[in-house]
Amino acid sequence: MDRTRRMGRHRATSIEVVPWYAHVVPGRDELISSFLVRSAHRHGLSPYRFTAVTFPENVIWTRDIDSSLSDQALSLIAHYYGLTIDDVVAMTLFGFMGCASSSDPQWPACQRWINVIGIYHRLRLRFGLQFCPLCLKDEPVFQRAWRLSFVFACPKHGIFLRDCCPSCEMAVMPHRCKHEPTRCWQCGTVLHSFDGKDKGSADTALAVQYRMLRCLDGHGYCLGPELLSTPEFIHGASIMMRLIKQQLQSHPDLRPIHICTVDIREETRRLRTHSREALFSVLNELLEDWPVNFLHFAHAAGMTQLAFRTCGELPNWLTAAVALLPERLRTRPRNNDKWLIDHVCRLEHVGGAVSWALRAQALMRAAKGIYEC
Ligand SMILES: [Zn+2]
Ligand SMILES: [Zn+2]
């Protein structure tokens, strides 16, 4: 510490390093970032100062800590709050997906279902953190499920989630709020001042997300009479989602009305709530009555087995359905066909009455299966 009581380049000034004295209990399904913000406010500090003092060696707010909290920071939080490591992991997104840490080999695949928040220094440029205004009013914590790509509505209140400030439409950044994390950091509007009832019924969205969440809970996914394991389903569903987007891009008439071309080109986890909901509704529809709806969609989009050739190894449930698709739409011309096309082209090139007569003759003979001059 120098004469100005500055403790180092990255450390806050005029603060003694103190242990966490105010006890904060994790809320229902609370994100670790939300927990740290509440802890900072309970200690009368901004989240920046608080983490600079308690985690001097760790980068916190310039990372998506909910999906990448280091093992060292996990241990420190557990130590300060008298929690077990498992309790702290249970507040992270990798814990939600059943991974022990962010270095778990399963985690990169699971991350496809986690919304991107677009970290830029301490800002968040994307709308990956959603919230239910009514849940936030009941309990001022941000829940883990609100970061999932296939969560669009609140099962408790039956309304659509919001992903921005209802007033200035900025992305939600609880760590930038000086006092209350339930206010917009930019304009100060209370985030739960507008409920989501104006957005219409969320029943369909709830049905779609219920099936996906149930799968994550370890129940697997019921596909007709078959019960798929969670990794098996997630792997296949990721492939299906990628191909659905490719086909919707090529065949705009198959596209749900609520999704535009720009969104179709983006990764699903980067999209806003309404676009993700439209895409997951298509996926859910194709998984219904498996594989009948899938085959109808593939037929309308002109999909063949070739479309799946670059997708790597398919899970068994998808392989069986793909085998029902045609191998390819156009077959290569056979040798005889090739000979006939070349022969006819040559005659057309020569031109004149004789060539046209020979051309007609060749075509007539080919129709009878005779391929020779
Ligand atoms: Zn709610
Ligand atoms: Zn605002």
- The domain spans of the chain are 32-196, 203-322, 335-367
Number of the ligand closest to the Cα of 137: 1
Mean pLDDT to the nearest integer, 20-30: 85
pLDDT at 195 (0 to 100):
66
pLDDT at 219 (0 to 100):
83
Mean pLDDT to the nearest integer, 294-306: 90
End-to-end CA distance of the chain: 98
pLDDT in tens, 49-91: 999 988 888 889 999 999 999 898 999 899 888 889 999 999 9
pLDDT band at 2 (very low <50, low <70, confident <90, very high): very low
Q: Is pLDDT above 70 for 288?
A: yes
Distance 162 CA to ligand 1 centre (A): 11
> Could you tell me the pTM of the whole model?
0.79
pLDDT at 13 (0 to 100):
46
Distance 124 CA to ligand 2 centre (A): 14
Q: Is pLDDT above 80 for 138?
A: yes
Mean pLDDT to the nearest integer, 239-253: 86
Distance 285 CA to ligand 2 centre (A): 36
Determine the Cα–Cα distance for residues 365 and 359; give it in Å rounded to an integer.
Answer: 10
pLDDT at 331 (0 to 100):
55
Distance 172 CA to ligand 2 centre (A): 9
Which carries the bigger pLDDT value, residue 272 or residue 56?
272
Of 15-24, 31-40, 344-353, highest mean pLDDT: 31-40
pLDDT band at 169 (very low <50, low <70, confident <90, very high): very high
pLDDT band at 333 (very low <50, low <70, confident <90, very high): low
Share of the chain above pLDDT 90, in %: 46
Q: Is pLDDT above 70 for 373?
A: no
Number of the ligand closest to the Cα of 183: 2
Q: Is pLDDT above 90 for 366?
A: no
pLDDT in tens, 195-228: 656 666 788 889 889 988 888 887 888 888 889 9
pLDDT in tens, 258-271: 777 788 888 999 99
Distance 188 CA to ligand 2 centre (A): 6
Of 21-25, 29-33, 55-59, 176-180, highest mean pLDDT: 29-33
pLDDT, mean over the chain = 86
pLDDT at 196 (0 to 100):
59
Distance 180 CA to ligand 2 centre (A): 13
pLDDT at 5 (0 to 100):
46
Number of the ligand closest to the Cα of 155: 1
Number of the ligand closest to the Cα of 168: 2
Number of the ligand closest to the Cα of 190: 2
pLDDT band at 354 (very low <50, low <70, confident <90, very high): confident
